Amino acid sequence: MMEEFQKTLQEKFKIAESIVVRNELRVKLVREELLPLCKFLSENSFDHLSCITGIDFIEYIQVVYHLFSYEKKFWVVLKVDLQKDNPHVPTVCPVWPVADWLERETYDLMGIVFDGHPDLRRILLPESWKGYPLRKDYVDENEIQWGEVL
């Protein structure tokens, strides 16, 4: 079943790499293909967006989406490589509303900008925080902002 689904995806979309590992279908794709693919997956019973992660590979940044289908009983993992200096990716909020906070968290800690997000603010750190702390080249220069509470 997973192999069939993999073939369908390969026929419909431009996919750089795809591999089946246990009950995961791992798909690597370019930024432009992300939103149409997400819409397609959403229509094909992938209704659970479990996690959005950012990974810093020093030369580039990768954003990873974990999707699960309760009907098909397997995972689809989407991976998109982004430029280090200006990481932009379209938002998937219209497809899965849960992406709102997940994308805010990824923006907060990794600095990936989700274009078209309804409310892209920091979610864990204070509003006045400088830098993105989970990047490898992050140097902390933040002090306590005493005025913020008032």
Partner 1 sequence: MNLDAVDEAVTSSVFFARLQELTHKLADPLLNWGFRYSTWWYLFGLKCCAIEMMSFFAARFDAERLGTFFSSTPRRADLMFVTGPVTKKMAPRLKLLYEQMPCPKYVIAIGECAICGGPWFESYSVIQGVDKIVPVDMYVPGCPPRPEQFIESLQKLHKDIKEKGLRR
- By beta-carbon proximity to partner 1, the closer residue of 8 and 145 is 145
Q: How far apart are the first and last CA of the chain?
A: 57
Q: Which residues are near partner 1 by CB under 8 A? A: 125-126, 133, 138, 140, 142-149
- By beta-carbon proximity to partner 1, the closer residue of 11 and 141 is 141
What does the alpha-carbon distance between residue 11 and residue 69 come to, in Å, rounded to a whole number?
Answer: 20
What does the alpha-carbon distance between residue 19 and residue 133 come to, in Å, rounded to a whole number?
Answer: 31
CB of 53 to partner 1, least distance (A): 19
Which candidate, 140, 142, 112, places its Cα nearest to that of 126?
142
- By beta-carbon proximity to partner 1, the closer residue of 59 and 147 is 147
CB of 63 to partner 1, least distance (A): 22
